[in-house]
C-alpha cells in the first residue's frame, strides 16, 4: 500500500492516509489502498480501528480535483460508485471505526469521517462539503449521511452554500463527539479505542450490526432484529465471562472473542 499505512497495537489498528504532499486527497489509488488496509485486518485480534491522516494539517482535504476535472458522466459515476463502495465497507465493517480528524476534512474527507462510527476532532479541524462550488455535488455519501447526522437545515446549508464549519461548530451540531488540542488527538482516539477493546468484542460487533441495520428500518423491525441478535450473544463464552465477573465482583474480565 503506497498511500495508506497500518499499525496495530493492543488490538487497535491505526490506519493512516499518507499522501501528505497532497493534503491526503483521495483518488482511486488511495481508495484502493484504504480498502486493502481494512481487508488486511485480522478480526480475531483487532477489536477497533482508527482512521486518520498524516501530518497535522489535513485529515483528507477532499477528492483529487485534478483527477476529476476531465471525467465525463460515466467516469464521474464510476468514481462515485468506487468511493461509495469503499466507504460502505468502512460503515459496515464488523468492528468499530473511529475517525481522528486532524485538520481539513473537506469533500471526500468529510464523507470519509461520516462513514466511520465515531468522529473526534482536533481544534484545527475544518469540515465541509464544498462540491457545489466546483460544479458537482458530494459523491461519496455526503448528500445521504450528513443529513442523518446533523440537523437537516444545517446539512443543506453546508452542501448548498458550501459552508465550512470549524471543530467547535461540528461539536455543537453533533457531527463530532469531542474536540481536543492537536497534540492530544491521537492519544484521545487510542484511549477511546481502548475502552471499546476492553468490552466483549462479540457484543460490540453485534451492537454495531444492530444499530447499522436497524437505523433505517421501522422501529418494530429494528426491535425484532435487536431481539434476535441479543439472543445470539448468549451463545458466546464472553457472555458467560462478563456476567460471571459482574456477579463475582471481578474488575478484570478475560474476554476471548468466542
Contact predicate 52/100, CB 8 Å? yes
- Asked if 20 is an active-site residue, the reply is no
The residue from 111, 226, 241, 252 that is catalytic is 111
At 57, is the secondary structure helix, strand, or coil? Answer: coil
User: Residue 237: beta bridge partners?
Assistant: none
- Asked if 241 is an active-site residue, the reply is no
Residues 6+ apart with CB under 8 A from 216: none
CA distances from 173 to 11, 103, 129, 148, 202 (A): 31, 18, 15, 12, 31
Q: Report the candidate in 115, 101, 107, 250 with the shortest Cα–Cα distance to residue 180.
A: 101
Place of cell 483528507: 60
The residue from 131, 157, 172, 226 that is catalytic is 131
How many angstroms separate the CA atoms of 112 and 145, rounded?
10
CA distances from 143 to 5, 138, 158, 167, 224 (A): 29, 6, 10, 20, 29
How many angstroms separate the CA atoms of 57 and 229, rounded?
41
- Report strand pairing: 104-106 vs 97-101: unpaired
Q: Which residues are annotated as catalytic?
A: 111, 131
Amino acid at each position: 500500500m503506497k498511500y495508506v499505512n497500518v499499525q496495530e497495537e493492543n488490538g487497535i489498528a491505526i490506519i493512516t492516509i499518507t499522501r501528505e504532499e497532497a493534503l491526503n486527497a483521495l483518488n482511486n489509488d488511495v481508495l484502493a489502498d484504504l480498502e486493502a488496509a481494512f481487508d488486511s485486518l485480522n478480526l480475531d485480534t483487532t477489536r477497533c480501528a482508527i482512521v486518520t491522516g498524516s501530518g497535522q494539517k489535513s485529515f483528507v482535504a477532499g477528492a483529487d480535483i485534478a483527477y476529476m476535472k476531465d471525467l465525463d458522466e460515466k467516469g464521474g459515476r464510476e468514481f462515485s460508485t468506487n468511493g461509495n463502495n469503499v466507504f460502505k465497507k468502512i460503515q459496515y465493517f464488523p468492528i468499530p471505526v473511529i475517525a481522528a480528524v486532524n485538520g481539513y476534512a473537506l469533500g471526500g474527507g468529510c464523507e470519509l469521517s461520516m462513514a466511520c462510527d465515531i468522529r473526534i476532532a482536533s481544534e484545527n479541524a475544518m469540515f465541509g462539503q464544498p462540491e457545489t462550488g466546483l460544479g458537482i455535488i458530494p459523491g461519496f455519501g455526503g448528500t445521504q449521511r450528513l443529513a442523518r447526522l446533523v440537523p437537516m437545515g444545517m446539512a443543506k446549508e453546508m452542501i448548498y452554500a458550501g459552508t465550512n464549519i470549524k471543530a467547535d461548530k461540528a461539536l455543537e451540531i453533533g457531527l463530532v463527539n469531542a474536540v481536543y488540542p492537536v497534540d492530544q488527538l491521537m492519544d484521545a482516539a487510542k484511549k477511546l479505542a481502548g475502552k471499546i477493546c476492553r468490552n466483549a468484542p462479540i457484543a460490540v460487533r453485534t451492537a454495531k450490526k444492530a444499530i447499522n441495520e436497524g437505523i433505517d428500518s421501522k422501529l418494530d423491525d429494528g426491535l425484532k432484529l435487536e431481539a434476535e441478535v441479543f439472543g445470539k450473544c448468549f451463545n458466546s463464552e464472553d457472555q458467560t465471562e462478563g456476567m460471571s465477573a459482574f456477579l463475582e465482583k471481578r474488575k478484570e474480565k478475560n474476554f476471548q472473542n468466542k
